[in-house]
Homo-oligomer: A and B are copies of this chain.
């Protein structure tokens, strides 16, 4: 295992994604470097109130701790209390144009150091007894659905995972559908994508390669969609529907998303974590769009957890 290779990959991925987004948006991302009193820190890259991206963050973080909380290791009870580190890139982009979907991507590595090892708050020593696992994924949340966009996104996700086994994509596609689901509304967050966690099968090099492939396919998955939607004409009706539907994004992230809750409850950097929240959001009681296109089609044709590659 080579933690610094993973760190280098994450930092490089963040830089490449930000560069392409700056290119399409025309404005530079803000940079905000932060440190965490308990160990580690991160680099937040942010854009707000721009013409293409109304709000977005592409955040790198690498945080360390002396004692892994039991809550973080439900599936590995033996390693609670060990020194640990977590690193990765997490991004959410909220385009201004209601026809352009919101997107989320995350790639991450968690390490629980061998019992007895002590984190030095910068980089803990590596040992063959360290335990590690990767996680990540990407998923798309349209406000107005386009079949072409959903198919392209899912195809690119499939391509990202194709080299790693015949059933990997199907498994991670279903995992994404199961995870990004608003249980209190019985409604998927969007059209899905891929999601994985606890990945350590097949050795560190394979798992890093898989995670790297997911991260590196993000631009191919999303940029063509953003490119063809960002300049579509829209009016107040579309902006209003977008603001209403963005409420679902807030509900999912604050009520159900384990990463957000773990971050907020473990003294993470709140402002960087909450970059996933949209810039402007509306709630109204028990509202439903009128039957027929285009708004009602989002519910009937897109928020349905189907196989987009058939």
Contacts and interface: CB of A to CB of B under 8 A. Distances in A.
Interface string A226-254: 00000000000000000100010011001
B283 A282 contact: no
Contacts of A243: 280
Contacts of A176: none
Contact of A280 (B49, B184, B282): B282
A275 B284 CA distance: 8
A254 B182 CA distance: 13
Interface in A238-281: 243, 247, 250-251, 254-255, 261, 264-265, 267-268, 270-271, 273-275, 277-281
B280 A274 contact: no
Nearest to A266: B184
A66 interface: no
B274 A251 contact: yes
A46 interface: yes
B277 A247 contact: yes
Contacts of A286: 32, 271
Give chain A's interface secondary structure class: mixed
A76 interface: no
Contacts of A274: 251, 283
Nearest to A32: B286
Q: Which of A250, A264, A286 has the most CB of B within 10 A?
A: A286
A285 B264 contact: no
A279 to B, nearest CB: 6
Contacts of A279: 282-284
Interface residues of A, number: 37
A55 interface: yes
A250 B254 contact: yes
A272 to B, nearest CB: 8
Contacts of A267: 184
Given A279-B282, A280-B280, A280-B281, A185 B270 contact: yes
A48 interface: yes
Nearest to A267: B184
Contacts of A185: 270
Contacts of A261: 255
Contacts of A278: 283
A283 B184 contact: no
A184 B264 contact: yes
Contacts of A268: 184
26 contacts: A32-B285, A46-B285, A48-B284, A49-B284, A55-B284, A55-B285, A57-B285, A184-B265, A184-B267, A184-B270, A184-B273, A247-B277, A250-B250, A250-B254, A250-B281, A254-B254, A254-B255, A255-B255, A255-B264, A271-B285, A271-B286, A279-B283, A279-B284, A280-B281, A280-B282, A281-B281
Interface of A: 30, 32, 44, 46, 48-49, 55, 57, 183-185, 243, 247, 250-251, 254-255, 261, 264-265, 267-268, 270-271, 273-275, 277-286
